[in-house]
Structure 1
Amino acid sequence: MRYLLLAMSVGFFLLVPAKGMAQESSEEGAEAEEQAEETEDERRVRRLSDVMGEGSEEFDIDFENIDIPQQPVEPVPEVSLPDPQQDERLQTLLRASAFAPNDPDTQAALSDLIDEVESDIRSALAAENFGLARQLVSVVREVEPNRGIIAQAEAAINRNATIGQTLAQAEAALEAGQLTAPPEDNAAELFGRVLELEPENEEAQSGLARTHEAMIEDAIRMAREELDFEGAEARLVEAESIYDGAEATSDARQAIADFREQHIEALDREVLSHVDEGRYDQAEEGITELVALGHSRARIDALEASLSDARLYGSFEPGQQFDDGLDGLGITGPQMVVMPAGSFMMGSPEDEADRMNNEGPQHRVTFDRGFALARTEVTVGQFADFVDNTGYRTDAENVGSSRVYDLNSGRMDEEDGINWRHDYAGEEADDDLPVVHVSHRDAMAYVEWLADRTGRSYRLPSEAEFEYALRAESQTPYWWGSGSPPEDDIENVTGDRDVSPAGARWNVAFNRYSDGHWGPAPAGSLQANPFGLYDMGGNVMEWVADCWHDSFVRAPGDGSAWINPGCERHVIKGASWSSTPSMSRSAFRISSRATSTDMRVGFRVARDL
């Protein structure tokens, strides 16, 4: 049976038997009857307009003698084109192809149409209209599945989808602060992956620039907040590896360098402050940090030396002189001299002339820290400040007497009414003379008052400290050497050229020597020893903190005072104006009761640093 192909203007084909079509129009009945004798095999479709009716748009495909089956040979694909005119052509051709799959004219028309669609796909891809491209590709795939544009377009569409997804992940990572970690899920890597797919992608370029900026901010934060300058530099190097922002990186590096230098300077000052305030552990930590920061080696050495000295001498230097103000009095305490840390052999060797048994065994004493010792003995004027401020009464005042030197007889006898206000002969003492007629208890009262008024750790020196400072690194019998002083006016001791106010001379004295004094000289009148101290080996003997022990067996080796609670006798060190050569030796030591007083005994103070 032959069929007629009817093309409707609404975009679909209608296939009906020719006989049925003739019966649809009563106006054409006569014509149908006239042609009834025609055989169905001779019927042909001539023009679609012959069966479309008046006014229909003519679409002439000009099929010649096509045998039209009653049903489609193949299913009609359900695809469409967004362009109405193209879609109308597509639907017509698809239905035609479904009824006549191998018709060359239909296939040629379809191929022409697909060529147009392929061009549209390329235009859509160029315009990054991937939704349109995807729709057009679906049509091409149905009509000509082997067309190369399909793979090309799908690759572009998939790449775009990947780019979009990766950009979203990159933005999320950037927002979360995942700049370069964790692996495969950080902003730098994700934006970089997009640029590998599409080197000119502006979003990825902008994202990488923002990642670079965030890394620079991170580097600056590491430097300023965490003081991790090495980490900050590593962050800048990492930032340089992901984005070419040379100017911003250079500016950041300079800002960090400036801050680092400011921090080093501040830390340097902080270390010195720690040293000055005695915070030595903090100072050491600061120096360690300065080493890590690359502070100059010369400056590190200087700071380490300051710390070492401070640990030994506090905030002072060996040989430095200072005094401390007395709170509320408007005066200062005794002038102090910083003694260097070190060690010495205390006592006398067994072969030293005039040696006494209580001077041994000779043993080494080491001072790990320096200390300060008064430049001179405490003077009458300084002791008067103490008494005036406290109302203190000395042991001589309480007892009502003390020993004095009788110029006429040359004897040393007890005399009533003598106290710290008097000199060696019982006369009123000048303020610059060393105070005498004071007991160990009186000396302790003075240093306790001095410590309280200054807020510093004043005390009596230990016996070891006194002998160490007296010897001043010498191991000879006297600090100036052996035998008589090399010149006059070295120390106030007995000299064979000294003459008393009464014309007396010493029976036992240093040969060919005179210091020009009979009795104590004003404190600091003669020469200082190598440690800058006056009157250590003469003028007056001095109380020290130690209890008396008749030998150095089990004596401390660190220079501390050897004290037994409740001891009755204390050590007296140094020589006086009346000391013979044997009694002027540096190792010489005697003792007396804590409450005893004498015209030859005074004291000086020590202070911890």
Structure 2
Amino acid sequence: MATNNNSNRYPSEKGRFFKGKTFILLVGLLLGAGIMVAVYKTSVYFSSDESCMMCHVHPHAEDSWKLSKHVNNGSGVKTHCVACHLPPQSDTWNHYTAKAKLGLKDVWSFMTKDSADFDWNTKSELEHAVKYIPNESCKECHQNLFPEGINQDGITAHLYYDENEKKLDLQCISCHLDAGHYNPDYKHGKLTGIPGAATATVDTSLYFKTATPVTSFTDYTEQIPGTAVAFKMVAIPGGTFKMGSTDKEPFHKADEAPVRNVTISPFFMAEVEVTWDQYWAFYGQTMSEGRTPPETVYANNSNPDVDAISGPTPPFGFPDQGWGAGDRPAITMTHYAAETFCQWLSKQTGKKYRLPTEAEWEYAARGGTETPYFFTGNPKDFSDQGFWRKFFDAKTDSISSFVIYAKNSKNRTQEPGEVKANPFGLKNMLGNVMEYCADKYDPKAYSKGGDNVTNPLITEGEEWVVRGGNYTSDAADVRSAARDYTKHDAWLKTDPQQPKSIWWYSDIRGIGFRVVCEPDPAIGAK
């Protein structure tokens, strides 16, 4: 009996095992392995193209992906969604954290938003796409930047990328936007000819033979000889106005002060920004192949007696961004290109066309008003800036009738018919594209020259003044007094050419210009 009592007092070998640390460790390992397998299987399932399309329900994304080189190629290799839109799996932590963040965001959007309200065209533009295409993912597959068959332009571009990727934060997608989603309106490579010209029917009988004679200070429609292009010029009467803004104006900035009285002589100003029809006419008559050094071009064009003006070299890609040409504003040209256009137009018409001074621009934009905009409204009501905009939407009813800006542009320029004119009869003075001025930018320009000045022009500085804001601007930045300036080096960041282009910017799309014309003294403009 004693033996039996002793045997009951001590657990068996089997009992000790199930109660011991070894068993707990084994169960933990099995549970951990099971969880890891489950997580892995879940990750694999939600990494499939089909699972991505459960939330990304817009059909054109799938269709354009299937037509792209990532699927429709000679090798038969298919590049999957996660291969481009997530960091590579070799970067384990960043890959899975990015996957979790995007997954939660997609699920939340799928559950709380209506996909029919999404502006997919806007979401596919470079500004948005660059947030979801890590460079590391591109390089994971494209490890050889100089593959067999690459042309000289490609070699130059990839050498530039290799040397400047980190320093300039260069992004592969800036040049290869259509690699993953086919876009027929996107071109990667040097432009040949004028877009649409090869298939267009040209009736030379419609070409103007002479420019429009101007015999009085009234609106006129200019005709460019040798083309079918015409555009309206508006007579802007001279006068004195208060230039700038006070610190009481919402979103006022220091470079808009002090307010001073400026007197402006009469001038003509284009009703709308220079259109692609106008700019392509200039390009077609002056285009050069780019073999001439910039210094020679500058010397040639600065000669007042020159017969043939040297114009732009072919840009890389479609400078209209695939948005359309015609009456849309011409964009992405440099300040020098805009000045050269004015020089060419002057020779074609026998008049004196040029860029407006900053003072002329603001005088024309205000149209006789002294309020933040030439229409009724408070910038605070229209702007998306500020804490309360997280809870309440900005007003858009009145501003959208006059301005193409971030809230109504669909992330692209629009034709002038989309807006109403200002009191002087000018369209798109605010928004759509920033407009070059003849002045150099000086943040203290208004404090120089006194309180009463006539026809001021700033000629010293590094950058040029641009005015009006553009299609990406907040309402705060399209006020009549709002100032801005070129960022020359930043706007050429992805241009791989050496020397860089003097004609086209590679990294700014919302820049353009409009022309003014000086009246002949004989017509007695007032």
The interval holding the TM-score normalised by the smaller chain is: 0.3 to 0.5
TM-score (norm 2): 0.44
TM-score by length of structure 1 reads: 0.38
More relative contact order, 1 or 2 (CA 8 Å, 6+ apart)? 2
More helix by share: 1
User: Which one has the largest radius of gyration?
Assistant: 1
